Structure 1
Amino acid sequence: MAEKRDYYEILGIQKGASEDEIKKAFRKKARENHPDLHPDDPSYVEKFQEINEANEVLSDPEKRARYDQFGHAGVDPSYGGGAGGMDGFGGFGDMGDILENIFGGFGFGGGSTRNTANAPRRGSDIQETVTISFMDACKGKKQEVKLNRMTICEDCNGTGAAAGSSVEICPDCQGRGSIKTTQRTPFGAISSTKPCPHCGGKGKIVKNPCPKCRGGGRMRVQKTVSFDIPAGIDNGQTIRLGGQGDCGINGGPSGDLLLNVNVKAHPLFTREGYDIHCDIPVTYMEAVLGSEITVPTIDGDVKYNISEGTQTGTVFRLKGKGVKKIRRSERGDQYVKIYVEVPKNLTKKQKDLLKEFEASLSDKNYAKRQSFFEKLKAKLDF
């Protein structure tokens, strides 16, 4: 006969451990070493049996006292002590009862199974993409979208049964949607649950199904949903419409409709957050002499005076001419970048006039050019 391990060692506790410490140690070891968690390793059957045996003795004050005094011989007839024997060690009791205490009736041992077959369940969410213009994103608008969604069948009102008939409770599972099976093993009875094969896990049987929904109680229909696109929405953002998704099951709430917004590009404007950017070309003379120019905005054209000698790359701001912030009164700004367009395809006369004009200028007319060469000269002299 193989030498038996010490029961205290098996549970990982000291000899003077309290009842509460024994109980906690047993629960922990049982969870870690249950055979169902290690289906590919048969050694866990023996480990679990060993843990159960140790707990049977140490959790009973009388057996524990005999074990502390005589060791295994005090509690196991096979060791010759015969002092009281081992109650229940022939089959180790009902393993289902033990596991129900350990795991609270979930997963192992076939503890109580919650009746979820006919419980209300929320419907699924639906995702759609809507494409809108740049201006609609800035200003907001009313929009419609067509979608296919699950709705309660109007003919059977969601029961799935044809008119004049009713839904019956499954006689095999009594409406639970699952059945419990118990298997006797050398180390006890192990119970498990599985979907009821008779009703397919629904807990009910429709003998005369509704011809419109074919017994499902729900059907997919096309629906047009109207909604508001808020002013200020940006590309890639999502609008959530609560309760506009698929209808629920067994009276559960409907899911939501998630609308992913795709904003078309604009030929003049780009957007950064709530600010708008645009580039505007001006003529050589407008830049040199200064001028009143027309600037497009999302609210229409506005006039703006650029100063004499405006350079390419100059940026000015139009305060409050950007995008309205969602659900707020504030707006972003518009930033306008100037670039000077150099004339091309000049006639000989035009070129001569420009040369004459250029000859009349001096370094003081080119501040940046003069500064550049002064810095260059200073660097070379150094």
Structure 2
Amino acid sequence: MTDPYKTLGLGREASAAEIKSAYRKLAKKHHPDLNPGNAERFKNITGAYDILSNPEKKKKFDRGQLDPASGAERPGAGFWGQWGGAQKTGKSFSFDEFDGINNDIFSSFFRNARGDIQGRPETGSYRKNSAKENNKPKNTNYKLTVPFTEATLGIKKHVTLSDGKVVNMSIPPGTETGMKLRLKGQGRVAEKSSKKGDAVIEITVQDHEHFVRKSQDIHIDIPISLPEAISGATIIVPTIYGNVTLKVPINSNSGSILRLKGKGVPKSKEHNLGDQYIRLQVTLPDKIDNELKEFIENWGKKNEYNPRQKVKIT
């Protein structure tokens, strides 16, 4: 690969979105799993994307500082190479662009002042280290959004990653947002090796319509009617494991909390479970008929009380 822009079929003014889109299309088309004879082409595509998707590497390539074949900086190109790159591309540089650029190049020339080497850059050791880096398998980072119940209970499933790659993976019980899962050998191929790195997948758990997770416990608000609150009742409530029956005590108020033991989130490496907490919400009917209204008014006259006194709000 001599020019990552040409490899991805892009012009030098391509935006980050255009670079990503071009890479996805070409990577899917030339992936070795689908086209075994395209391994070299796929390697060039991933190498080009590795340079252009990284702002620092892209900037260095545009300035002539980066060798696209190895991904390593060209020795000595940090300062003088910019003048050559500017003349070739017609780009002009401001003082700020030169400020602090590649200080390592200068320090390697003048290390003899510190008693290290005698006035020449360490190009041999630099190239050796760069070759080692290029031979290392490269991990590939992905982001994946998982439904709430799949994350809490765990699941094995086929997942399509952001670059179109389909993988089989196990999401362990109790998975939380921010957790990272590693798939061995599902990452990028090293530039000068056939070894693959790992795919590292960062999980985001979707919010649930009713459930809220707090550590290993599940919380949910459940509405109940006025008769159920006064007389008590047996109702159906959802859990992450399915529906269960729950006994509502007599004289239950809004805010009363009931517990379902063992209906919370499992810990991935342990057998103990959290609990589910139900907060009751007494809900009046949408329309109050005259019969109920008259009954409440008459009852209130005979049984006056101020519930705010209990919490010292009068």
TM-score higher than 0.5? yes
Distance 1:369 1:309, change over 3 A: farther
Match of 2:197 among 239, 245, 255: 255
Report the counterpart of residue 150 of structure 2 in structure 1.
Answer: 136
Name the stretch that deviates more: 233-242 or 118-127: 118-127
Give the alignment of 1:41-120 within 5 angstroms. 99=112, 102-103=115-116, 105=117, 108-109=119-120, 113-114=124-125, 116=128, 118-119=131-132
Conserved in 2, the CA contact under 8 Å of 1:284 and 1:341? yes
Distance 1:250 1:316, change over 3 A: same
Aligned partners of 1:145 and 1:297: how far apart in 2? 26
Report the counterpart of residue 234 of structure 2 in structure 1.
Answer: 292
Amino acid at match of 1:282: I
Distance 1:358 1:124, change over 3 A: same
Conserved in 1, the CA contact under 8 Å of 2:142 and 2:162? no
Conserved in 1, the CA contact under 8 Å of 2:158 and 2:168? yes
Match of 2:168 among 226, 234, 256: 226
Aligned partners of 1:256 and 1:131: how far apart in 2? 19
Aligned partners of 1:284 and 1:101: how far apart in 2? 85
Aligned partners of 1:347 and 1:232: how far apart in 2? 47
Superposed displacement of residue 228, structure 1 = 0.6
Report the counterpart of residue 263 of structure 2 in structure 1.
Answer: 321
How many residues align structurally?
207
Aligned partners of 1:348 and 1:110: how far apart in 2? 94
Distance 1:118 1:284, change over 3 A: closer
Aligned partners of 1:251 and 1:259: how far apart in 2? 23
- Report Cα offsets for 1:66-102 as digits up to 9, x if no partner: xxxxxxxxxxxxxxxxxxxxxxxxxxxxxxxx94993
Conserved in 2, the CA contact under 8 Å of 1:242 and 1:255? yes
Distance 1:36 1:266, change over 3 A: closer
Distance 1:283 1:110, change over 3 A: closer
Superposed displacement of residue 342, structure 1 = 2.3
Distance 1:147 1:319, change over 3 A: closer
Aligned partners of 2:268 and 2:167: how far apart in 1? 22
Match of 2:209 among 257, 264, 267: 267
Conserved in 2, the CA contact under 8 Å of 1:125 and 1:256? yes
Give the alignment of 1:145-294 within 5 angstroms. 145-146=159-160, 223-251=165-193, 253-294=195-236
Bigger relative CO (Cα 8 Å, ≥ 6 apart) = 1
Aligned partners of 2:214 and 2:169: how far apart in 1? 25
Partner of 1:293: helix, strand, or coil? strand
Aligned partners of 2:148 and 2:228: how far apart in 1? 30
Partner of 2:294: helix, strand, or coil? helix
Aligned partners of 1:231 and 1:353: how far apart in 2? 51
- Report Cα offsets for 1:177-199 as digits up to 9, x if no partner: xxxxxxxxxxxxxxxxxxxxxxx
Distance 1:314 1:228, change over 3 A: same
- Report Cα offsets for 1:122-175 as digits up to 9, x if no partner: 1322122222211111121122234588xxxxxxxxxxxxxxxxxxxxxxxxxx
Distance 1:255 1:283, change over 3 A: same
Amino acid at match of 1:258: V
Report the counterpart of residue 343 of structure 1 in structure 2.
Answer: 285
TM-score normalised by L of structure 1 = 0.47
Conserved in 2, the CA contact under 8 Å of 1:291 and 1:305? yes
Partner of 1:349: helix, strand, or coil? helix
- Report Cα offsets for 1:300-353 as digits up to 9, x if no partner: 122222222211111122222111112221221111111111234222223223
Partner of 1:271: helix, strand, or coil? strand
Identity of aligned residues (%): 29
Aligned partners of 2:196 and 2:280: how far apart in 1? 53
Distance 1:327 1:361, change over 3 A: same
Distance 1:330 1:246, change over 3 A: same
Bigger CA radius of gyration? 1
Unmatched segments (≥5 aa) in structure 2: 1-104
**RMSD of aligned Cα (Å):** 3.4
Unmatched segments (≥5 aa) in structure 1: 1-34, 40-47, 49-97, 150-221, 377-382
TM-score normalised by L of structure 2 = 0.56
Aligned partners of 1:228 and 1:101: how far apart in 2? 54
Write out the 4+ residue segments of structure 1 that deviate beyond 6 Å after TM superposition: none
- Report Cα offsets for 1:248-285 as digits up to 9, x if no partner: 24337532211122222221111122211100011111
Conserved in 1, the CA contact under 8 Å of 2:224 and 2:283? yes
